[in-house]
Amino acid sequence: DIQMTQSPASLSASLGETVTIECLASEDIYSNLAWYQQKPGKSPQLLIYYANSLNDGVPSRFSGSGSGTQYSLKINSLQSEDVSIYFCQQNYDSPPTFGGGTKLELK
Amino acid sequence: EVLLQQSGAELVRPGSSVKISCKASGYTFTDYYMHWVKQRPEQGLVWIGRINPANGNTVYAEKFKSKATLTADKSSNTAYMQLSSLTSEDTATYFCTIWENWGQGVMVTVSS
């Protein structure tokens, strides 16, 4: 199985700040990488697919980048509603596998 | 609007089985694989398997091959997952998803 290593595990940032979350795959996943946001008690919501494509309705302050084994999610101008857990997921190879998650809190 | 409506929370005894449902609406049910994902409290997401509702073909993660059984009913646009021989390790929230959309999750609690 492809291992997804996500960092940091937790992150504290101020309103208006820019934050970056990283995801490292154990092998090349050819940009088959998605990012999800999960708020407490809710189901995950797709933010980014194919590494850098913004899902419909997702604010433009979210962006994804990367290739090969290294990927990142950037949130510009952090808003209070962005407090969540973020997961990366590879869907290049079966089984699909997820990163361990990054808990984003407000400072 | 795409909706995946899952059944309600379950409290089940160790050693028993449970079957949870996921009713799809707002899209053509047979056009997308239905995936199932497990999330233990305060933990990450684990893929269980997926079913092709068009023909019933299934693929399971290795560790769930003897735990989960996925089925789908095209006539009612509903996917099902049965979990057997339940233990405390199966206490979790279970989601159905087509990746772009997720059900609200079903919390399964295994307790005597």
What string of H, E and C letters represents the secondary structure of B2-38?
CEEEECCCEEECCCCCEEEEEEEECCCHHHCCEEEEE
The predicted pLDDT at position B11 comes to 98
CA distance, residue A90 to nearest chain B CA (Å): 11
* Residue % of chain A over a pLDDT of 90: 98
The predicted pLDDT at position A22 comes to 98
Q: B76: which 2 tokens?
A: 């009612």
Average pLDDT, chain A: 97
Q: In whole angstroms, what is the distance from residue B106 CA to residue A75 CA? A: 30
- Judge residue B86's burial from the number of C-beta atoms within 10 Å of its C-beta, 0-12 exposed, 13-18 middle, 19 or more buried: buried
Q: How many CB atoms lie within 10 A of CB B31?
A: 9
Residue of A23, A43, A53, A90 to mutate, interface with B, max B Cβ within 10 Å: A43
- Under the banding of pLDDT at 50, 70 and 90, the label for residue B41 is confident
For residue B18, is pLDDT > 90?
A: yes
Q: How many residues does chain A have?
A: 107
Measured between CA atoms, the residue of chain B closest to residue A103 is: B42
Cα B42 → chain centroid? 19
Measured between CA atoms, the residue of chain A closest to residue B107 is: A41
For residue B43, is pLDDT > 90?
A: no
For residue A24, is pLDDT > 90?
A: yes
